[in-house]
Amino acid sequence: MQRYSYMVADVFTDTPLQGNPVAVFLDATGLSTERMQLIANEMHLSETVFVFPPSDDCDVHVRIFTPVNELPFAGHPTLGAAIALGESWSGNRIRMQTAMGLVPFDLERDTKGSVRAARMQQPIPTWEPYDRAEDLLAALGLANSSVPVLVYNNGPRHVFIGLESEYALTKLRPDHRRLGELPDMAANCFAGYGASWRLRMFSPAYGVVEDAATGSAAGSLAVHLARFGLAPFGQEIEIVQGVEIGRPSTMRATAIGAGNQIEGVEVAGSAVIVIRGTLDI
């Protein structure tokens, strides 16, 4: 029998039992892909992170699993992992190798030296028109989007649909069966203005009915808003998610660049450790 230590962090919040939980296995050496997928299903959170020793020019290597598949990159799991690892980390920077490349994190510590928040440099997404926009709008019960429906790819594929108000966003009642017919994508519905935005994410394709906080979508949303003139490049925006499912989360995101030339994408937020345990298999 082998024993693996793990933590569960509530991410994009500083309040336990809010935000988006992620399980972080601190040393997954010896676990096969099949085992990790089974463990992620056992944990039954939106994502589970497995940490491996470093290779090449990084501090740690991570793999990320939903209950049904592996993701090349995700935001809230990696930020939660960075803060969990920060408990035993002497410095304030962690370079994390993902399947989408190197993701650096700057750790923010309180006066006692405990890590409370982190800021990541996300992979810069690519984008294109979403070829099943009509099907998606129908599944969401919407007639249209306030801006063109595009899909952004920074590991997960995030499709963005703009609504006219936060009230309309809260009242959304998607047809999840129809959403489940749209493969390899997450539907991200947003509303707001200036530096204040609300987000809801639905993705049966990734095994998530509704997500409490989607860090990879936060970065792409900042790019999307800046490209369509809804928020300035270089300005940090606040994105609140998870309100409708009782897990309020707050993400901070910045798109750096101009027009279609994106130079950087930053996402920041807090996390709090709520569970420490071991898995015997």
How long, in residues, is the chain? 281
What positions carry a catalytic annotation?
47
For residue 2, what are the CA distances in angstroms to 31, 56, 204, 259? 10, 27, 33, 52
* Cα gap 247→211, rounded to integer Å: 9
Query: Within the chain, how many helices (H) and strands (E) appear?
Result: 6, 17
Q: Tell me which H or E stretch contains 166.
A: helix 166-170
Q: Tell me which H or E stretch contains 86.
A: none
**What phi and psi, each to the nearest 5 degrees, are found at residue 214?**
-120, 95
* Strand pairing class (157-162; 150-153): antiparallel
* Cα gap 249→222, rounded to integer Å: 16
* Cα gap 184→136, rounded to integer Å: 13
Amino acid at site 196: S
Contact between 93 and 105 under an 8 Å Cβ cutoff? The reply is yes
